[in-house]
Structure 1
Amino acid sequence: MLAEQLKKDTLQSHQQLEKMLVGRMKAIRSQEDYVKLLQLFYTYFGGLETLIDQYINQSELSDYAERRKAQALANDIETLGGHPMSKASGENLPQIKNKLQAYAALYVIEGSTLGGKIISKMMAQQLGISNGEGLSFFNGYGDDTEAKWDSFKDVLNKLTKSSEEDKVVIDSANETFEKFKQWAEKNA
């Protein structure tokens, strides 16, 4: 199954990015710090979504509109008094020139929802947010997160028809993780 292979073959890239991001999250002490973190996700995920949109849409993936994250991030930024920055583009993003690469990038975005509940609680506690404002991105799909992840993995598992196609998806997912790490380092 492609979803299992992706998890295994992107583990190192995923863990390197996660370690960096978790360190940043733990260091957040102000609303301004948190807005900077949201900007990081907005600029990168927003740029990815622009590329993904060329290959995936509602007819391709019926709940694609629900899976887009840039608007939730922009809303959180604005709720907290910020203004969304320009989206990443060009060399700052992975190469997405076909449907397989688009799904690989979407895999990285969708995977970010899994730890969202924990991050949301951590941010609420660190910043004293009791009304949930500014946490919509990290709240993701709420109680439906696991079901949405499982349905996305089902789509992935039906996506490829050969080991060559599997490799395209895995390589592109790794590049997406690595480019996000580079983007985070550049925008520290």
Structure 2
Amino acid sequence: MLSQAHDIGVPSLLEALRTGTGSLHVALEKRLPFFSVRLDADWYRRLLEAYYGFYAPIEAALYGNGLIPNGFDCLLRAKTPTLIRDLNAFGLDDHAINALPRCTRLPTFDSPAACLGALYVLEGATLGGQVLRREMATRLALDSDNGASFLNVYGAETGRRWKEFLDYLGSLSLDMPAKQRAVMAARSTFSGFEQWLDSQEVLL
């Protein structure tokens, strides 16, 4: 549960999340094809479709459950609209997007702490997106106007919004069991994302 006092001698929520997800993060990055010499526009489009199939349901589950602690702006930080914009740029209309497969094996977000764990993964991905954005601009001539807005979802505000998110996490006092639930949800989000992308055959 959210507590009123920090535990003494235990990792902060951010430290617990970083330690608990580091190996999963590295493992997933190694399988993403953004830097593969075989990546072409078709593979990239399939990646976008797979990302949409995960982000759309997970954001709906997170933002609609009413459990995210106050201070997080769901509307400002939603990623799904940029994925729709990118898919539109690749020629998919609303009907085609709605027909895309969606992940149904999502983590369970049944507590504020679990929501925070998932948000940590989704927000952290915006930093990596900046590196990928530059690579896709060089490799496939893509930018925010023709299919890569998701990779630059916050634009010039990326660094500031990440710091604001870290400040948000730091403002919340969680007891040790709640921190553990946050880490479990973050790990489930990472592993669930990799399993979903694997099922869609878009990973290396």
* Paired positions, count: 184
Aligned counterparts of 1:165 and 1:57: Cα–Cα separation in 2: 13
Q: What's the CA shift string for 1:51-95, capped at 9, x where partnerless?
A: 102335898335321111011101101111134224322xx2111
Look up the SS of the partner of 2:86 in the other structure: helix
Point out where structure 1 has 5 or more consecutive residues left out of the alignment.
Answer: none
Q: Contact 2:132/2:151 (CA < 8 Å) preserved in 1?
A: yes
TM-score scaled by length of structure 1: 0.88
Q: Is the Cα–Cα contact under 8 Å of residues 87 and 147 in structure 2 kept in the other structure?
A: yes
* Aligned residue in 2 for 1:70: 80
* CA deviations over 1:135-177 (Å, ceiling 9, x no partner): 1110121121111111111212233421111111011101110
Choose between structure 1 and 2: higher helix proportion. 1
- 1:119/1:138 contact within 8 Å kept: yes
Picking from 44, 61, 66, the partner of 2:71 is 61
Match of 1:9 among 6, 10, 20: 20
Unaligned runs of 5+ in 2: 1-11
User: Which protein shows a greater Rg?
Assistant: 2
**Does the CA-based 8 Å contact 1:55-1:98 persist in structure 2?**
no
Two-structure CA RMSD over aligned residues (Å): 2.1
Q: CA deviation at 1:116?
A: 1.2
Q: Structure 1 CA distance, aligned partners of 2:164 and 2:31?
A: 28
**Alpha-carbon separation, structure 1, partners of 2:52 and 2:40:** 18
